[in-house]
């Protein structure tokens, strides 16, 4: 092995020289990630435009990692009450992880998550159970029970979480199924339904407890453009009738144009920008413009 030389290239390194060399190497090692980190977030202006109301859900400096993969990295986000919000972003950027934090299925490693001003991580089990009743959730594929027909799938939350009698349950279920256009499909099994019908049945089930907050995890996934448009219209119609905070997780820009009152763009675990949809679609931020227009040229690449 070639012997390392001291200053001037003469003789071996003295102990003091070793310390200085190692210190310089460590400094380079520490500096590189910090420079990369700053470069990663150059488009994250953190601009949060006012929406004119109270936040139903709020993320405050939330950090969440799985092993060495930090999915949320200082997330600050507010979802307005009474509006349809959309969390948009590239695939794999932590959108669905946000939903799990809202309902207490995951807890942040750092930071806090508030639902109507109450800290989810600080809730006792019984408080968490009651808080979850505020939420309705539509999963990607509807998440229907394969052994139950449409009626029983929709009635399930009422039978599990309330003391209502069967007559009242039937009235609620039939009203919700009617809202989503499935009043004539109560006896069908999930394997007899199209993808769009399964999502509508899941939507009806998400509404039966009259939730304050409804979460949609990529509701347009697996649907053709026409059925996606119809589902978007349905979301708007039901929201107009029932109110509350709706949060749609998606990366579909056409859905955002149709439905969103408020948009937050999530990338690399942080919000790039958020605000009323009309303002986001006119943003000067290069990443926001590229993502919302679906252009190939811009900060977002294939990485």
Please state which CATH number belongs to domain 82-132+212-294: 3.40.50.300
Residue with tokens 């012997």: 3
Q: What is the pLDDT of residue 115?
A: 96
Residue-averaged pLDDT of the chain: 82
Q: What is the pLDDT of residue 144?
A: 86
CA–CA dist 147, 200 (Å, integer) = 18
Instruction: Determine how many CB atoms are found less than 10 A away from the CB of residue 258.
Output: 17
pLDDT band of residue 303 (cuts 50, 70, 90) is: low
* Residues carrying CATH 3.40.50.300, the chain: 82-132+212-294
CA–CA dist 138, 117 (Å, integer) = 23
Alpha-carbon torsion (221, 227, 233, 234), positive or negative = negative
pLDDT tens digit sequence for 197-235: 888 899 899 999 999 999 998 887 777 888 788 888 888
pLDDT tens digit sequence for 124-174: 999 999 999 899 988 877 788 889 999 999 999 999 888 999 999 999 999
Counts of helices then strands in the chain (DSSP H, E): 10, 11
Alpha-carbon torsion (106, 137, 73, 52), positive or negative = negative
pLDDT band of residue 36 (cuts 50, 70, 90) is: very low
Determine contact, residues 159/165, Cβ cutoff 8 Å: no
* pTM of model > 0.85: no
241 by Cβ neighbours in 10 Å (0-12 / 13-18 / 19+) ranks as exposed
């Amino acid at each position: 092995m070639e012997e390392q030389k001291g200053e001037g290239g003469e003789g071996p390194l003295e102990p003091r020289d070793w310390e200085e060399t190692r210190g310089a190497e460590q400094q380079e090692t520490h500096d590189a990630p910090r420079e990369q980190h700053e470069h990663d977030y150059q488009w994250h202006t953190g601009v949060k435009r006012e929406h004119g109301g109270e936040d139903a859900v709020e993320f405050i400096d939330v950090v969440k990692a799985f092993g060495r993969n930090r999915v949320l990295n200082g997330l600050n986000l507010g979802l307005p009450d009474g509006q349809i919000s959309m969390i948009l972003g590239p695939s794999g950027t932590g959108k669905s992880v946000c939903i799990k934090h809202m309902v207490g299925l995951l807890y942040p490693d750092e930071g806090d998550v508030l639902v109507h001003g109450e800290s989810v991580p600080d809730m006792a089990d019984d408080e968490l159970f009651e808080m979850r009743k505020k939420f309705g959730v539509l999963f990607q594929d509807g998440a229907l029970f394969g052994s139950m027909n449409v009626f029983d799938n929709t009635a399930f939350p009422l039978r599990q979480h309330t003391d209502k009698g069967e007559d009242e349950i039937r009235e609620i279920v039939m009203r919700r199924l009617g809202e989503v256009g499935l009043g004539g499909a109560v006896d069908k099994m999930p394997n007899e339904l199209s993808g769009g019908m399964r999502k509508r049945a899941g939507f009806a089930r998400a509404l039966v407890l009259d939730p304050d907050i409804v979460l949609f995890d990529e509701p347009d996934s697996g649907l053709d453009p026409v059925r996606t448009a119809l589902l978007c219209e349905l979301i708007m119609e039901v929201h107009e009738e029932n109110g509350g905070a709706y949060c749609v997780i998606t990366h579909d820009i056409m859905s955002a144009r149709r439905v969103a009152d408020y948009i937050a763009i999530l990338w690399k675990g942080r919000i790039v920008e958020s605000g009323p949809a009309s303002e986001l679609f006119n943003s000067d931020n290069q990443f926001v413009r590229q993502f919302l227009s679906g252009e190939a040229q811009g900060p977002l690449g294939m990485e």
